[in-house]
């Protein structure tokens, strides 16, 4: 096994991702302060929201297929539950840290409040390279994680979902482990499950679908026709891949896409329907050929002269170093936290609009909410109903944020934060401090 394929991170005490120039927690706290100042929010509430309610840290010994045992670290950060059970994804990545989970859990609190879902925010994960594990090893690791978190999660307590490096199968193992330990089948403990055990139609495409809907609305707002709009998408997985395909269906020209191995560019437009998503066939992006297709790096893609740039891969890709080189007219954040606060300040100064992650990719958790409703009511919805309700929720929230942006003359991020934060703060002030 080559060293970059090792499942155990080289430095498991590392404080942050090597792609990061600031931790997700630091970015999230700065964004909170900015919006709190705009709202003139009670400092006592802000102080509470700067910290997660709980962070579970667990040790996960796993027997490898060769009989040896490796020990991994797992986290579940539960930020705030004033509006309902904690909700958010679980990621498997060598870059998972406690600080990252805390920052991402804060974003989930705002995302759920922005969409007016009856959930709070959580995020967790395991510091592991999932590509270096066999399916059996992944199953043992996941079941052990579910066992360690059994008292922290539950359909009315904390509901995990897929995120980077996890998928419907991961959720199925968690649901099974939780259900077996509790002695009853409990589909509502996780969302993003396979449909046959209570998953929702449309859940896996939902984050990409919401990115496409918000891109369409933002282009309309800036008087740019969607038909023929030139769009570059970084990341070709569940978010970027589905967003690219839908925008292509709606008439946009997808001029560049990328996966972890590199990017491709075709100024005449890529037929994204013909390029398998990264999860379906890893390597298909860079293997794609065509007479006007050229190869680029992931960094080059970010600097293409396009109408819309959609960073939909990982966090902290737009930084102080490349923010001035970005030539797009509009950025729509598909990934969670792709823009550092320094880059965000540069974009604000340049007047380059950035539609924030908590709005653009909120389709994932919104359909998770639909899935949870189906689970606790023991009913299933059609794909048409899911997509229709998602469309209504996304457009409604877009309009709500648009009003705030117009009224306060603030960035899209601050506008979205103002809507979310005022709901969370109001709930805190009604419920008060206990005991």
Work out whether strand 253-259 and strand 158-162 pair parallel, antiparallel, or are unpaired: unpaired
Q: Vertex 96, ends 93 and 98: CA angle to 5°? A: 160
Locate 373 and state its tokens.
């409703």
Question: 168, 193 in Cβ contact below 8 A?
Answer: yes
- 273 token code pair: 């329907």
Q: Does 336 bind ligand GLU (CB under 6 A)?
A: yes
CB of 156 to ligand GLU, least distance (A): 15
- Which range, of 1-9, 64-72, 87-95, 242-250, touches ligand GLU by CB under 6 A? 87-95
Residue nearer to ligand GLU on the CB measure, 206 or 264 = 206
Which of 368, 374, 397, 414 lies at the binding interface for ligand GLU (CB under 6 A)?
368
Closest distance of CB 357 from ligand GLU, Å: 8
Rounded Cα distance between 19 and 306, Å, is: 24
Quick check: helix, strand or coil at residue 103? Answer: helix
Min dist CB 69 to ligand GLU, Å, is 30
Task: State how far the Cα of 63 lies from the Cα of 68, in Å rounded to an integer.
Answer: 6
Closer Cβ to ligand GLU, 307 or 334, answer by number: 334
Q: Which stretch binds ligand GLU (CB under 6 A): 51-59, 126-134, 223-231, 360-368?
A: 360-368
CA angle, 165 as apex, 164 and 167 as ends, to 5°?
Answer: 95
| Catalytic residue (one of 30, 54, 111, 123) | 123
> Active site includes 123?
yes
Binding to ligand GLU by residue 258, rule CB under 6 A?
A: no
- Determine whether 409 is exposed, middle or buried from the number of CB atoms within 10 Å of its CB (0-12, 13-18, 19+): exposed
Considering only the C-alpha atoms of the chain, give the largest distance between any 2 of them, rounded to a whole number of Å. 68
Going by their DSSP bridges, the two strands 294-296 and 262-265 should be labelled as: antiparallel
Among 9, 52, 88, 125, binds ligand GLU (CB under 6 A): 88
Min dist. Cβ of residue 166 to ligand GLU (A): 9
Query: CA-to-CA distance for 266 and 280, rounded, in angstroms?
Result: 22
Asked if residue 161 binds ligand GLU (CB under 6 A), the reply is: yes
The DSSP symbol for 318 reads B
Does 191 contact ligand GLU by CB under 6 A? yes
Q: How far apart are CA 247 and CA 318, in angstroms?
A: 22
Contact pick of 364, 397, 414, 415 for ligand GLU (by CB under 6 A): 364
Q: Does 393 bind ligand GLU (CB under 6 A)?
A: no
Helix axes 206-221, 363-377, angle to 10 degrees: 130
* CB of residue 112 to ligand GLU, shortest distance in Å: 8
Q: One symbol per residue from 207 to 246: x for binding ligand GLU (CB under 6 A), - otherwise; what is it?
A: ----------------------------------------
Applying CB under 6 A, among 87, 95, 143, 144 the residue interacting with ligand GLU is 87
Give the number of residues in contact with ligand GLU, rule: CB under 6 A: 12
Beta bridge partners of 127: 93
Stretch that binds ligand GLU, among 23-31, 40-48, 357-365, 386-394 (CB under 6 A): 357-365
CB of 63 to ligand GLU, least distance (A): 28
The reply to whether 188 sits near ligand GLU by the rule CB under 6 A is no
Scanning 248-256, 306-314, 362-370, 393-401 for contacts with ligand GLU by CB under 6 A, the matching segment is 362-370
Token representation of residue 372: 């949870």
Query: Does residue 332 contact residue 357 with C-beta atoms inside 8 Å?
Result: no
> Which of 117, 127, 124 has the alpha carbon at shortest distance from 160?
124
Distance of CA 242 to the CA centre of its chain: 14
> Distance (Å, rounded) from C-alpha 385 to C-alpha 391?
10
Exactly one of 52, 74, 85, 89 binds ligand GLU (CB under 6 A); that residue is: 89
The residues in 97-136 that bind ligand GLU, with binding defined as CB under 6 A, are 111
The pair of structure tokens assigned to 284 is 């298909």
Distance in Å, CB of 243 to ligand GLU, minimum:
14
By beta-carbon proximity to ligand GLU, the closer residue of 159 and 177 is 159
* Residue 416 is a binding residue for ligand GLU (CB under 6 A): no
Footprint on this chain of ligand GLU (rule: CB under 6 A): 87-89, 111, 161, 163, 191, 336, 361, 364-365, 368
Q: Which residue numbers are catalytic?
A: 123
């Amino acid at each position: 096994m080559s060293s970059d394929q090792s499942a155990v991170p080289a430095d498991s005490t590392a404080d942050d991702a090597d792609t990061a120039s600031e931790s997700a927690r630091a970015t999230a706290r700065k964004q909170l302060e900015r919006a709190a100042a705009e709202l003139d929010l009670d400092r006592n509430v802000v102080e509470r929201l700067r910290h997660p309610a709980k962070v579970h840290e667990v040790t996960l010994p796993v027997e490898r297929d060769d009989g040896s045992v490796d020990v991994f670290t797992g986290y579940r950060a539960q930020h705030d539950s004033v509006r309902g059970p904690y909700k958010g994804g679980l990621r498997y990545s060598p870059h998972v840290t406690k600080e990252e989970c805390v920052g991402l859990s804060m974003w989930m609190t705002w995302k759920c409040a922005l969409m007016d879902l009856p959930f709070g925010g959580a995020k967790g994960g395991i510091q592991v390279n999932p590509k270096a594990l066999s399916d059996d090893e992944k199953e043992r690791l996941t079941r052990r994680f579910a066992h360690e978190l059994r008292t922290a999660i539950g359909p009315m307590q904390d509901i995990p979902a897929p995120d980077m490096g996890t998928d419907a199968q991961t959720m199925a193992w968690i649901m099974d482990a939780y259900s077996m330990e509790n002695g009853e089948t409990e589909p509502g403990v996780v969302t993003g499950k396979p449909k046959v055990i209570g998953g929702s139609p449309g859940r896996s495409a939902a984050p990409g679908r919401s990115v496409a809907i918000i891109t369409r609305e933002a282009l309309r707002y800036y008087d740019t026709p969607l038909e023929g709009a030139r769009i570059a998408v970084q990341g070709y997985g569940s978010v970027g891949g589905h967003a690219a395909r839908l925008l292509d269906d709606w008439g946009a020209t997808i001029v560049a896409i990328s996966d972890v191995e590199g990017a491709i560019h075709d100024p005449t437009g890529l037929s994204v329907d013909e390029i398998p998503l990264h999860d379906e066939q890893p390597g298909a992006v860079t293997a794609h050929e065509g007479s006007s297709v050229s190869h680029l790096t992931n960094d080059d893609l970010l600097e293409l002269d396009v109408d819309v740039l959609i960073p939909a891969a990982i966090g902290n890709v737009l930084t102080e170093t490349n923010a001035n080189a970005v030539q797009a007219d509009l950025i729509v954040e598909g990934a969670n936290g792709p823009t550092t606060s320094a880059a965000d300040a540069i974009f604000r100064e340049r007047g380059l609009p950035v539609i924030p992650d908590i709005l653009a990719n909120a389709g994932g958790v919104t359909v998770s909410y639909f899935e949870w409703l189906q689970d606790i009511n023991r009913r299933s919805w059609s794909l048409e109903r899911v997509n229709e309700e998602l469309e209504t929720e996304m457009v409604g929230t877009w309009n709500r944020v648009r009003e705030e942006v117009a009224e306060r003359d603030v960035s899209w991020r601050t506008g979205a934060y103002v809507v979310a934060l005022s709901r969370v703060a109001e709930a805190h002030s009604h419920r008060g401090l206990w005991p």
